[in-house]
Structures are given as C-alpha cells and as structure tokens.
Structure 1
Amino acid sequence: MKFKSILLAAGLLWAGLAQADTVALWGFNQVGVNAQNQPVYSTKPTYTDHGGAFLDTLGVSTTFVSQSGSSDTTGGSMALNTAGYASQGTGDRTTGVQFSIDTTGFQDIVLTFDQRNSATASAWTALLYTIDGENWVEATTFRMLRDSVFVKGLGFNFSDIAGVDDNANFAVQLVSMFAPGTQAYAGTGGNYGTGGTIRYDMVQFAGSLIPEVDVPEVPEPASIALAVVALGAMGLSIRRRKQA
C-alpha cells in the first residue's frame, strides 16, 4: 500500500479537518482536585463523541507536565510526558503510546497531534494503525528536527485507507523507531539515551458523520394479506356494478 508523505498529507490533513467533527480528543485538562486541593489530571480523553476512546502505554511511564508551546490554550491544562524508552539498538517500534478509537458512525478520519522531544529522545517516530485490533500496519513516520519545543499539527489523513471508517476496532500507535536504514536510534538533538522523553498534547481524531440512508418500510405479511383481500373485495364490487 502506498502511503502519503508528511508533506503531501499536510494539505489533505487540514482540508479534511475543515468540516470535520471531533470523534475523540486528548487535551489532558484538569479533571478535579485531590484531598490536598492539588489539581488532578487524567489520561482519559477530554472529549469523545460516544465514549469509545482509550489511551494505553507501550513499555513507557507517563507524567503530566507543562503544555507550554503546544496548541492547547486551555487554562490549567497539561501535556502527557512519556519516559523509559528502549535501550540503544533494541525495541524498534515497540515503545510509546496507543490510542484506541471507536469510529462507528464516522468516515474520513484524520489524526492531528502536537509532539515535543527532549534532546536524547529518538528523532524518529512511527505511526502504526490497526483495523482489527491485532494486525498493525505502518502508516507513516515523523522526524523531529528540533528538541525541547512543541511541533504543532503533526498528523495523518486516514480517509483513503479501507477499514478505518465506521470501525469499533480502530487504533493507532506512536512508537520510537530506529533511524531509517539503521539498527539504532538517532537522538533528536544529540546522542540517543534512555533518559529521553517525548511529550504529546492535543491528540485529536476527527471525521465526518456517515449520512443516514432511509430504508423503505417493508409491509408485514399480515398487512399484505389484508391489502390483497381489500383489493379483491373492491374488484368484486366493481364487477357487480357493471353487471347491474
């Protein structure tokens, strides 16, 4: 399957978002306070259209940190920080985060997100997806050219990929990968190290509602029988009038 490059997808990405509805969004906003009156944040989605959206970690730990520089302007919001990535030369495309999204009722799905790498984090991230919950396919890859700043509006347009629309089993993974053509990670701003971190914010899945199709009502057998009897009676009455 031929996938769009990041540059080619950029125009289609924003065109797809122009008239789209949000299916699920992770903004990592404050959800309350604890007993010590400190803010509490959650990895649960900030918004879902019908509840079928979940975030899972893949071999990494998470904390909530400043979202400064991301596209999130909500007061008191945070970003999700991921840490504990694989050692150099191991775990290619296995560590990161997974977002599971029920796209039932939606089509033309588009993913957008903001990402911020530390200097020693892997410069390369792979976007994988599944339509059956078991088999994963690489959609595209992203290379972070700068560290310690958010890159806003990264993403991918899934509208041309069969099976993503109207699917309760759709999910994506954002995972660290070896530099292309090598067996090692390349650091974003220097040498790769396991202390590297990656932040995510404003992870959004958008799409358009699938139009409802009106299905003509099929009469029940009993109704059909009554209609036949009525037509027969009408025909008999007409014949009698003619004979008279």
Structure 2
Amino acid sequence: MQIRTLALAAFAAASFHAQADTVALWDFNTFSCSSACTDLPKGATANGGKMSMVGGATFTSAGGSGTGSAFNTTTYAAQGAGDLTRGVQFMVDTSGYTDLVLSFSQRNSDTASAWTALQYTVDGSTWLNATTFLMPSNKSTSFVDGLRFDFSSILEANNNESFGVRFLATFAPGTSEYIGTKDSLASAYRTSGTIRYDNVMFSGTAIPDTAPIPEPQTYALMLAGLAAVGLLARRRRAG
C-alpha cells in the first residue's frame, strides 16, 4: 500500500465507523517501571494480544493522558540511521470481528522524531505501510488525544488471528534524517528523545455467531407450509 503522508489534524479526523465492541485495549493505568524495564504491560483483549519492542527501543512508565500511566519509549536510532527500525508493536487477534479501528494518544518530547510511521501486518510477519504522521512542535509537552486510523477498508484485517500494528520512528519525508519534534530541526533530534503512547484501543464489530431466531409468525408460516405439503401428499396417495 502506498504511504500516505498526512498532517496531524487530518490524521486525527480520519473517518471511522461507529464501533460497538472493544477488541483490545492497553490503557497502561497500572503500569509502573522507572528503569531497566523488561516486563511489558498486558492489555485487556477479547481473543488475545501482545506488545513487543521493535529494534533497540527501550521503555519505562510515565505520566499518562489524564489519570494513570503511559507507555514511554526511548533509545531510538542514531541520526541518519535505522529508518523504520525502532518503536513498539501490538499484535491483536481480531477473530470474530470486522471493521477494525485503531485509536490512541501520543506525546513526544522535544528531541524525539517528529515523524512516526504506522505499519500493519495481516500475516504476522510482512509489514505494510498504513500512514505516516507528524507531531506538531507546539504539542511537544502534551498528549495529542483521539488519534485514529480506520482499517475497515482493509478486509484482511477482519477476523484475523495474525493482525497487528507497529509505531516506528521514521525520517522526515523526502530526507535521510530524523527531525526533532521541537522546531522541526534535524539538529534537535536525539536518540534519548521519548515517545509516549496511551489508551491504545482496537475496536470493531462482532460477527454474529448464530443464525437469527425466526419470529413466531415465521414458525406459523413454516408449519402451515408443511401441513399443506403433507395434505397434498396424502391426496396423491389416495388418488
């Protein structure tokens, strides 16, 4: 799929269908780890889901969007190296659901990569580009809430035990270098810059697992039809 580079406002306002069910949610509210963290937070999932780190990125907890904690990532690649190689990944079994929508909150430090790529997989190993988005410099010290990406047009994401997404630091479009969130300058980027994620949620529409129960009048019509067939059969035998 071709990469679509979107301004943050357009990304946040991407169209999505109303969803009735939460397929997976990582709110990080009880996550607490300040250094040398190795145990990744677990989310609440309908079928199962797992977080993992990509590349050499590391993590701690930090203040969240609203109450509780957020998932704070750092140790990104050196300037001009490792494009799309470091970040965080979420694998989610979407079996029994369609029309997947991803929503989340993000906060960058001044020296983090201003550009992030969202990728997805439908086979658990091949990663495709969904979009790239830019965190504005005036939001470098606060969360941007309500970010969304609608996967409903990607039919392979439906009812799929091997679906997943990942957020990766990426070079500024058309360049071979990262730019820092503050002032969008390459000189502002640092490997120690941090990107926080909070309230990462996958929602979707449950696939009905049973056939609709016929209304009473439908049963009556069925019985009347069977009775008519039986009567006709008896008349034929009698004739």
TM (norm. structure 2) is: 0.77
Q: Structure 1 residue aligned with 2:125, among 101, 126, 134?
A: 134
Post-superposition offset of 1:90: 0.7
4+ runs deviating over 2 angstroms: 1-13, 211-215
Post-superposition offset of 1:211: 2.8
Q: 1:27 to 1:180 in 2, by over 3 A?
A: same
Separation (CA, whole Å) in 2 of partners of 1:178 and 1:120: 14
Separation (CA, whole Å) in 2 of partners of 1:65 and 1:214: 47
Q: Structure 2 residue aligned with 1:158, among 151, 157, 160?
A: 151
Q: How does 1:41-120 map to 2 (within 5 A)?
A: 43-45=41-43, 47-50=44-47, 52-58=48-54, 59-67=56-64, 70=65, 72-73=66-67, 77-120=68-111
Q: How does 1:123-202 map to 2 (within 5 A)?
A: 123-146=114-137, 147-189=140-182, 190=185, 191-202=188-199
Q: 1:110 to 1:3 in 2, by over 3 A?
A: farther
Q: Is the 8 A contact 2:40 2:52 kept in 1?
A: no
Counterpart in the other structure of 1:211: 208
Counterpart in the other structure of 1:29: 29
Separation (CA, whole Å) in 1 of partners of 2:148 and 2:12: 8
Q: Is the 8 A contact 1:29 1:42 kept in 2?
A: no
Separation (CA, whole Å) in 1 of partners of 2:201 and 2:96: 17
Q: Is the 8 A contact 1:23 1:48 kept in 2?
A: yes
Separation (CA, whole Å) in 1 of partners of 2:2 and 2:77: 29
SS of equivalent residue, structure 2 residue 85:
coil
Q: 1:180 to 1:12 in 2, by over 3 A?
A: closer
Question: Could you list the per-position Cα deviations for residues 32-70 of structure 1 after superposition, in whole angstroms to 9, with x for gaps in the alignment?
Answer: 9xxxxxxxx96111x2123x1110011211111111xx2
Post-superposition offset of 1:152: 0.9
TM (norm. structure 1) is: 0.76
Separation (CA, whole Å) in 2 of partners of 1:8 and 1:186: 20
Counterpart code for 1:19: Q
Q: 1:31 to 1:116 in 2, by over 3 A?
A: closer
More moved, 96-105 vs 2-11:
2-11
Q: Is the 8 A contact 1:62 1:83 kept in 2?
A: yes
Post-superposition offset of 1:8: 5.1
Post-superposition offset of 1:180: 0.3
- Pairs aligned (count): 206
* Sequence identity percentage: 47
Separation (CA, whole Å) in 1 of partners of 2:189 and 2:62: 22
SS of equivalent residue, structure 1 residue 163:
helix
Separation (CA, whole Å) in 2 of partners of 1:138 and 1:130: 9
SS of equivalent residue, structure 2 residue 131:
strand
